[in-house]
């Protein structure tokens, strides 16, 4: 093979393999021939069951609010605290044994329960021991936001908390500044906590079917990892212009070397 043909072959080989394509950067791709396609998204997700170190917000209301003041403590440790800081002081943390401690009621095991099951448990206990039907008891139990950690090829890595009952992985990514151009959207890793330990899951965000994945909605304490594309490790550039510039440098060096060899 003549040197010039070899250089041309090398040039086109490198340029077709080094650039990051639009397909690698586009979320939720579907069949391009389908127009206004209708997709049935599975909205029902398994309810979250509490884990150790979760933080609960519990509020009890009756007609006479003075009688429930002891159940709705406001921390004296930092009375000026607001937002997440206030939840830290006034919320109920699930300890290593799966219990929360509520004034008067004492320790209550909540490990593995849903927030609705805990609400029903508290309502039953309060109606049995403290209140009558006329009190119009109303109990609210919520997770104090959904906390997650995201690392890797993300513009703003770190731990975040979103005050919602349900958060999709796309919302979590958007809240963290989106995946960088060098991030692998087709193989996002989710490390999720379970009572028996941690499990690793993967989701391909370049496919429309990702919306039906059981991991599309994140859970509290999820760790989301966005790995880099191979192009980053090659160091050949992320855009066509960068790749051409890098390849031109390589081809120039090879051409110079071949010319020197031919002259010997």
Do residue 15 and residue 35 come from a single domain?
no
What is the enclosing helix (H) or strand (E) of 117?
Answer: helix 115-129
Neighbouring C-beta atoms of residue 87, cutoff 10 Å: 18
Which positions ≥6 away from 97 have C-beta within 8 Å? Answer: 109, 111
For position 46, what pLDDT does the model report?
A: 79
| Rounded-to-integer distance, Cα 139 and Cα 126, Å | 10
Q: Which domain holds residue 71?
A: 55-143
> What are the DSSP E strand ranges found in the chain?
55-61, 92-93, 99-102, 106-109, 138-143, 146-152, 158-162, 188-194, 197-203, 222-226
Do residue 139 and residue 73 come from a single domain?
yes
Do residue 131 and residue 151 come from a single domain?
no
| Rounded-to-integer distance, Cα 139 and Cα 121, Å | 10
| Rounded-to-integer distance, Cα 90 and Cα 70, Å | 12
Do residue 42 and residue 149 come from a single domain?
yes
- Final residue belonging to a domain, choices 123, 143, 163: 143
Do residue 65 and residue 120 come from a single domain?
yes
Do residue 82 and residue 138 come from a single domain?
yes
Do residue 196 and residue 222 come from a single domain?
yes
Do residue 132 and residue 188 come from a single domain?
no
Neighbouring C-beta atoms of residue 231, cutoff 10 Å: 21
Query: Two tokens at 151?
Result: 């690392």
What is each CA distance from 226 to 28, 168, 187, in whole angstroms? 16, 16, 8
pTM for the model: 0.71
- Final residue belonging to a domain, choices 124, 143, 162: 143
- Final residue belonging to a domain, choices 91, 123, 143: 143
Helices (H) and strands (E) in the chain, counts: 7, 10
Total domain count, the chain:
3
| Rounded-to-integer distance, Cα 231 and Cα 188, Å | 17
Q: Output the tens digit of pLDDT for each of the chain's 264 residues.
A: 555 555 555 555 555 555 667 777 787 787 665 555 555 555 557 788 898 889 998 988 888 877 777 777 665 544 555 556 667 777 899 999 999 999 888 999 999 999 999 999 999 999 998 888 888 899 999 988 899 999 999 999 999 999 888 899 999 999 999 999 889 999 999 999 887 788 999 999 999 889 989 999 999 999 999 999 887 665 555 555 555 566 666 666 666 666 666 666
Q: Cα–chain-centroid distance for residue 49?
A: 17
Do residue 109 and residue 37 come from a single domain?
no
For position 253, what pLDDT does the model report?
A: 65
> Which CATH number fits the domain that encloses residue 112?
3.30.1950.10
| Rounded-to-integer distance, Cα 62 and Cα 217, Å | 34
Do residue 158 and residue 89 come from a single domain?
no
> Which CATH number fits the domain that encloses residue 203?
3.10.560.10
Do residue 137 and residue 70 come from a single domain?
yes
Do residue 42 and residue 59 come from a single domain?
no
């Amino acid at each position: 093979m003549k040197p010039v043909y070899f250089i041309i072959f090398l040039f086109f080989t490198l340029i077709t393999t080094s650039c990051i394509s639009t397909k690698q950067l586009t979320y939720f791709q579907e069949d391009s021939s389908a127009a206004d396609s209708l997709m049935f998204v599975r909205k029902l997700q398994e309810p979250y069951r509490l884990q150790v170190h979760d933080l609960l917000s519990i509020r009890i209301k009756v007609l006479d609010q003075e009688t429930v003041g002891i159940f709705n403590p406001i921390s004296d440790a930092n009375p000026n605290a607001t937002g997440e800081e206030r939840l830290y002081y006034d919320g109920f943390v699930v300890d290593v044994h799966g219990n929360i401690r509520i004034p008067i009621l004492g320790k209550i095991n909540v490990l593995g329960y849903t927030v609705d099951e805990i609400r029903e448990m508290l309502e039953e206990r309060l109606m049995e021991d403290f209140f009558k039907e006329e009190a119009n008891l109303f109990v609210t139990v919520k997770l104090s936001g959904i906390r997650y950690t995201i690392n890797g090829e993300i513009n703003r890595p770190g731990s975040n908390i979103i005050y919602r009952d349900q958060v999709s992985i796309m919302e979590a990514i958007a809240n963290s500044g989106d995946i960088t151009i060098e991030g692998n959207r087709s193989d996002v890793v989710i490390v999720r906590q379970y009572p028996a330990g941690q499990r690793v899951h993967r989701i391909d965000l370049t496919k429309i079917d990702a919306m039906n994945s059981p991991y599309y909605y994140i859970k509290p304490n999820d760790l989301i990892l966005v790995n880099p594309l191979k192009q980053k490790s090659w160091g050949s550039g992320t855009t066509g212009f960068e790749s051409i510039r890098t390849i031109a440098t390589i081809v120039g060096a090879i051409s110079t070397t071949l010319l020197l060899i031919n002259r010997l």
